[in-house]
Structure 1
Amino acid sequence: MTINSKSTKAEILAAYKELDKQKKSLESQLKNSPKVNPITNKNTTQDIVRKSIPTVNINSNSTKGISNTIQALAEIQSSFGGAVSNLSEHLIVEATQLETVRNAITLEKLELIELHKLEKVTESTIDDLIKKYQADSKKFAEELNQQQESDRQEIETLKQAWAKEKETHSRFVKTRNEEYRKAQQREKEEYEYNLDLTRDLDEEEYNQQTKLRQQELESSRKILEKQWQEKEAEIAKLEQEYSTAQEKVVAFEEQLRAKIKQANEEGKGIGNYQAKIKADLRAKEIQGETRNYQLRIDSLEQTIEHQESRIRKLSQQLDASLQQVQDLAVKAIEGSSNRNSFEAMKAIAMEQAKTQSKGK
């Protein structure tokens, strides 16, 4: 049996027992075999021949036979020496293997003692450990089966409980959804009923309020149009003033040229010095008046630009207000905003009126 690092304890023990049996057999054979002394001189062969062959009378006729016998004995001696040498080598190998096995057995015994907390290892220790292992395995298998059966029953119980809980939850959800649907249906019917009732009861009042709102919207529109006309009149007046100022500037320029010409003519009659002084003074006066008129023209142009900008803004505000008024009127007519729409529309109209008043 071959022993290696992967061999089990049972295999090692069986190999040990087999080697021990072989050892005892070899020892018995060695004890029973005759002792052989080493050959130390040249007379060994002759001694063996003397001991092995009976004494006979040698004559010339038997010399050749004796020589053949001696040669045969020498060959036997050589073969016997080789056999003894091989046997010695074999015994040395067996002894070495036996020592290795003994060391391995010693290590295994130490491991068994340490692993299983044993006091000592005997021949029955392995059998006892195997029996104990089998008993423990059987016990563990029984406990495992019991635990598996217990777990299976527990899982089955949990499955049944879960199925029951799931069914209960499904019934609860179904009942809740049905109640919610009925409640929604009742609320919808009540809302539609109240809405129809409110429309029927307030139709006349709603028509009156709508008429009043339209009147107020018309009044607001007229106020805005009046403000717009006033702004247009104011702008027209400013344009007229601007045109007048331009005409005056042109007239002053012509007057300036005439005065200069007149001053030149008068200077010829009165004197160059006095004419020059008067011409310079008059030119400065005309230049000052021209500058004054030019400043007025610039101021009027800025005023006109400012008014045009305000007119554009007012136009945008008016368009936005009219759009809001129209939207609110539509909502009011459709009945979606009721009193809140009217109040919002009225507030917008008042805000626009205030804005126009501040713009003046």
Structure 2
Amino acid sequence: MTETAFGFQIEATDGKARTGVLRTPKGDIRTPAFMPVGTAATVKAMMPESVAATGADILLGNTYHLMLRPGAERVASLGGLHKFMNWNKPILTDSGGFQVMSLASLRKLTEDGVRFKSHIDGSEFHLTPERSMEIQRLLGSNIVMCFDECPALPADRQRIAESMRLSMRWAARSRAAFGDRPGYALFGIQQGGLEEDLRAESAAALSDIGFEGYAIGGLAVGEGQEAMFGVLDYAPGQLPADKPRYLMGVGKPDDIVGAVLRGVDMFDCVLPSRSGRTGQALTRTGAINIKNARHADDPNPLDEECTCPACSNYSRAYLHHVFKSGEIISSMLLTWHNLHYYQELMAGLRAAIARGQLREFVNRFYLLREK
């Protein structure tokens, strides 16, 4: 793989769904892809090699959290994020915009950027498109996200339109600040809430600027699945067909299946790891709450067909016991299981699209969950 190699190749389609490969100098990403979230340079309760063993091709790191602690300059001085967290595959970093809006206190939004106080210690920061690009360069992530603003829904149309147009101006500044970096990619982020014409305006602005990939932002922020799917019925088609499409912050297994049907290629969500830490196992037949007393004497695995360590080596009774006892191995095993399930789902989707049998796969997916 040469230093300059970065590209996206669609290998098969089935309806709107696509399967392909996103090539980076750090390795290939098979799409549709699910990116486990490593917010603070770690996927909680998992070793990096364990995450790789689940089938993950890429991780997501968080610009906001890493800039606050331990600091982007420190990570760079220690060899970059890949070396720092012992992950030698691709990394995507988000821009920090969403976390500034949702976590930071006393924030002030201007045309230039956002001034805010850290939710950790109250120290003041100023995040702009230029600084976001600098932080992500210092981290050394392979896929960089534009700095944008993401208003929570519901919001009135004027607020959504103003926010989207500000994000488009910030996208142009992000592109200019990103510069010429062979082998690295910058993704633009479509905004526009639930408004089809605003989404079209945003997509046109991003296409005019030109990016290596495009994200659909501003969803999974409280609008519900029906409304999200309503946007996804048209939003992916507004973006360039020859570039990867990334739905940010999504989601539940049925969210992902529905989005793949509508032409989305990349996903990230904290759900599998967070659910694992709170005692929820995600399986082909639906979610299992290991806290429930009925599992206390059950010698069976979480899922008879799953090959993850939790299912291969431990009973529901044991998993119930270690969760109720507050043992760390509970978070480790349930998170590993959930991430394994997600990667198995993505592999199944990729194979079904390649065979031209996606509809049959999706029908079976829903049928199993109804049992």
Higher strand share: 2
With normalisation by structure 1, the TM-score equals 0.17
TM-score, length-normalised on structure 2?
0.16
Relative to its length, the structure with more helix (as a share) is 1
Select the structure with the greater relative contact order (CA < 8 A; seq sep ≥ 6). Answer: 2
- Of the two, which has the highest radius of gyration? 1
